[in-house]
Amino acid sequence: MTTNTSAPQKLYLMQLGTSTVSVAGRTLEMVLGCYLVETSDGKHILIDSGLPADVPLPAGRPPAEHEQGKNVIEQLGDLGLRPDDIDFLICTHFDLDHAGYHDAFTKAELIVQREHYALARSGHPRFAAARPHWDHPALRYRLIDGDTELLPGLTLLETGGHTPGHQSVLVRLPQSGPVLLAIDAVVMQRLFTPDRKAWPLDDNEEQLRASTRKLLELVESEQVELVIFGHDGQQWQTLKKAPAYYE
Ligand SMILES: [Zn+2]
């Protein structure tokens, strides 16, 4: 590899908070997270930005069951980075727990699926809560259509179903090989099956199942050994978190 290529070198997982929730009668450990990729030529790519500081906890969730960790700005600071050091911000979707600090990244180019951006901009109520953060006039967007290689070794995958135009991310690392960030296409490891069911916040079960199958096939075809699920608290306990990283 020559020195002027831009390829992923490090992947950081930032754990922003944890909570315990009840879904279909089971108690689940959930995690809120975002990700940072550093490339061989020193670029920084942030994937999502977490819950904003200005929202109360979701209704019906006692504070004791939710533990807020360091936010994305503090976690970047621990790595010696400021928001202006971020070159790209990949927006997987505009749910509140994924887009709450987007407005801090005014020097970055924000990458989102055109379908998702159009739906959110049209005033869809689901994305209204985070709108002051993702629809800030100082933000620069690049709208993409479907699967897109952002740079060699980093591919955005259209995985609608949780929301229209949701995206997952495949990152190829020098030692770990391909790592799949499923985000909310597959929030828990146990849902990574071809005949999975939707959860209450999922928009379209048929699309969600098709996206899950697409990711299952990708794991086979690309020989992905690590799939990181969007909110799986049990899995995240076993993963390296920033300041440690995958390389
Ligand atoms: Zn989420």
> pLDDT tens for residues 174-213?
999 999 999 999 999 999 999 999 998 999 999 999 999 9
Quote the ligand 1 centre to 187 CA distance (angstroms).
7
Q: What is the pTM of this model?
A: 0.94
Instruction: Report CA(201)–ligand 1 centroid distance (Å).
Output: 9
Q: Is the pLDDT of residue 66 over 80?
A: no
How far does residue 50's CA lie from ligand 1's centre (Å)? 9
- Ligand 1 center from residue 92 Cα (angstroms): 9
Residues in Cβ contact with 65 at an 8 Å cutoff, skipping those fewer than 6 apart:
19, 20, 21
Angle at 227 between CA 221 and CA 228, to 5 degrees: 155
Q: Which CATH architecture has domain 8-237?
A: 4-Layer Sandwich (3.60)
Q: Please list the residues that pair with 15 across neighbouring strands.
A: 33
CA of 178 to the centre of ligand 1 (A): 22
96 Cα–ligand 1 center, Å: 8
DSSP state of 147: S
Count of CB atoms within 10 A of residue 74's CB? 11
The answer to whether residue 170 scores a pLDDT higher than 90 is yes
Three-state secondary structure call for residue 75 = helix
Residue 25 has pLDDT above 90, yes or no: no
Task: Tell me if 74 sits within 8 A of 61, measured CB to CB.
Answer: no
Shortest CA distance to 30 belongs to which of 191, 228, 200, 236? 236
Q: What is the DSSP string of 110-143?
A: EEEEHHHHHHHHTT-GGGTTTHHHHS-TT-EEEE
Would you state the structure tokens that stand for residue 225, as one six-digit string?
């050994």
* Distance from Cα 155 to the centre of ligand 1, integer Å: 20
CA of 230 to the centre of ligand 1 (A): 7
The CA distance from 54 to 223, in Å, is 41
Ligand 1: distance of its center to the CA of 186 in Å?
10
Tokens of 232: 């799986």
The CA 2 to ligand 1 mean position distance, Å, reads 37
CA of 9 to the centre of ligand 1 (A): 26
